[in-house]
Amino acid sequence: MAAAHAYPLVQPITHQPERCDAGNRHFADLCLAAELLGGMAAITGTFIAGLMFARTPEKGIIETNLHAMAYAFFVPIFFVGVGLSVDLHSMSLNTLWLILAISVIAMVGKILGVAPVPDHPFLLA
């Protein structure tokens, strides 16, 4: 349903409703049918909707206008949903230590990745 439901959003976002042709609408309807009848996951339908909109001339406008909404609204909801589905009581202590170690390594890597390195031969322009 994501592909079919996302299609009407393109018109107000692009401010050019006449550019959204019937072919894209039929493709969105096929995505909806695949999701409802074929058991396709919602995330797959959303991905297909993104592929569909990426082929339109309005791709840049859509990306610009949806960026703020996606990061302010959808991303936090996704992570809350994932967090709610985690059952820490079912994990062993070794698994929790592994998750903690990977998280610490990832954070240290992010910090070191943006740290300035003076006189590094690969960074000199």
Q: Please report, for the chain, the start and end positions of each structural domain, with discontinuous segments joined by +.
A: 2-88
pLDDT tens, residue by residue, 22-56: 555 666 666 667 667 667 677 777 787 788 788 88
Helices (H), the chain: 2-14, 22-38, 42-54, 59-69, 75-85, 93-113
Query: What predicted TM-score, i.e. pTM, was given to this entire model?
Result: 0.41
Q: What is the pLDDT of residue 78?
A: 86
Q: What is the pLDDT of residue 62?
A: 80
Residues of the chain with pLDDT under 70: 1-32, 34-35, 37-38, 40, 117, 120-125
Phi, psi (deg, nearest 5) at residue 16: -140, 70
Q: What is the pLDDT of residue 105?
A: 97
| Rounded distance between C-alpha atoms, residue 31 and residue 5, angstroms | 10
